[in-house]
Structure 1
Amino acid sequence: MYPTEYIQFLAHFHGDRDYFECHELLEDYWKKTDSRNKDSIWVGLILLSVSAYHHRRSNFSGAERTLRKAIKIFELQADSLTNLGLNKIDLYQFINRQVYALQNGESYRSFSLPIRDPNLLELAKKTCEQKGFIWENESDLTNNSLVHRHKLRDRTSIIKERNQSLKTRKGSE
């Protein structure tokens, strides 16, 4: 019923709090299924995880800007939130509190998505456990490879993809 990538996203989001991996998982899925749709629910969830990643690094303006983009998508895709087993009202309430926290420079705190479907919750918890994570574990703020992951990764494939995209665009002009 739910895509495997989404279940894995939830396991990382609530387990090891690897928001970068959350982004990667859903971005790959989005590119395979709905890549032309910038208002896809997958993009909204990607942006939510990116916002948490920025907040944890104390990049308040980046976190708020990204979260506001996610909010716009969630408003457009309210039914998709429900279809993905989330409680949209609880999510909206949390996001509004989160915007306030970011505007006031409040420190990052781990949070959970309001999963309303008990079957989804069970599946996500099981996947989390299989990965060796603890469900709703607090984020390890001392783990630099988690907190600053984007700075530590190999970007060769990303640069190659961007250069190819640039060549394609220039060729069509």
Structure 2
Amino acid sequence: MSAYPEAYIDYLIYFHAERDFFECHEVMEEFWKERPGDPLASCYVGLIQVAVGLYHQRRNNLIGASKMLGSALNQLTDEGMAALGIAADLMRSRLKERLAQIASAGTAYEDLDLPLSDPRLEAECVERCAERGLTWRRPSDLADTYLIHKHSLRDRSSVVAERELSRTRKARQRGMEP
């Protein structure tokens, strides 16, 4: 049993082994939304924003990347990062450096690793990666079109169906049969 939430471990594996920042966002957002009032909520949001910022940067959306990473800097608290086994000073430094690189707009995308301060957390992630046939701190596959553009290429049929069902319910509540 991990000392850290399962969703956070999944986030770290998506982040460092699969470089699937879209899934990082999905898993942490669901976890965060299920815990209103959690004292680490601000850090969960910050981690979501880091993943989204890197997703944008990797797609060359530098404005989106800059906004998300800048916002992440404001969300990530020292106490929260410490509770999640992240070296706060190093994390802030890496995010500021990345923001400076983005501002120069001449730097190609390169992966950013979260500076984990808890060796047990990193060992757990490495072990879980090995169990799944993944490589910890594997570089992004920049040739993987699905990974790079996942938000627009994934199957959204269940989301579309749920939205239509919601519209139908609302119309019925207002007495306007669809």
Determine the C-alpha separation between the residues in 2 that align with 1:144 and 1:132.
21
- Structure 1 residue 108 and structure 2 residue 109: aligned? yes
The residue matched to 1:40 in structure 2 has which SS? helix
Determine the C-alpha separation between the residues in 2 that align with 1:66 and 1:25.
17
Unaligned runs of 5+ in 2: none
- Structure 1 residue 49 and structure 2 residue 62: aligned? no
Q: Which has the higher contact order (CA 8 A, sep 6+)?
A: 1
What's 1:145 paired with?
Answer: 146
**One-letter amino acid of the counterpart of residue 80, structure 1:** G
C-alpha deviation, 1:35, in angstroms: 7.5
- Residue identity over aligned pairs, in percent, reads 34
Q: Tell me how many residue pairs correspond in the alignment.
A: 166
The residue matched to 2:18 in structure 1 has which SS? coil
| Segment drifting more, 154-163 vs 2-11 | 154-163
Shift in CA distance, 144/98, structure 1 to aligned 2, threshold 3 Å: same
What's 1:136 paired with?
Answer: 137
What's 2:25 paired with?
Answer: 23
Shift in CA distance, 84/50, structure 1 to aligned 2, threshold 3 Å: same
C-alpha deviation, 1:54, in angstroms: 0.6
What's 1:98 paired with?
Answer: 98
What's 1:124 paired with?
Answer: 125
Larger Rg: 2
The residue matched to 1:33 in structure 2 has which SS? coil
**One-letter amino acid of the counterpart of residue 62, structure 2:** F
What's 1:34 paired with?
Answer: 36
Unaligned runs of 5+ in 1: none
Determine the C-alpha separation between the residues in 1 that align with 2:43 and 2:121.
17
Determine the C-alpha separation between the residues in 1 that align with 2:163 and 2:81.
31
The residue matched to 1:70 in structure 2 has which SS? helix
Deviations 1:97-139 (A, max 9, x none): 0100111112110121100101101111112222221111110
Shift in CA distance, 157/115, structure 1 to aligned 2, threshold 3 Å: same
What's 2:67 paired with?
Answer: 65
C-alpha deviation, 1:156, in angstroms: 3.6
Shift in CA distance, 157/78, structure 1 to aligned 2, threshold 3 Å: farther
- Structure 1 residue 88 and structure 2 residue 81: aligned? no
C-alpha deviation, 1:36, in angstroms: 9.1
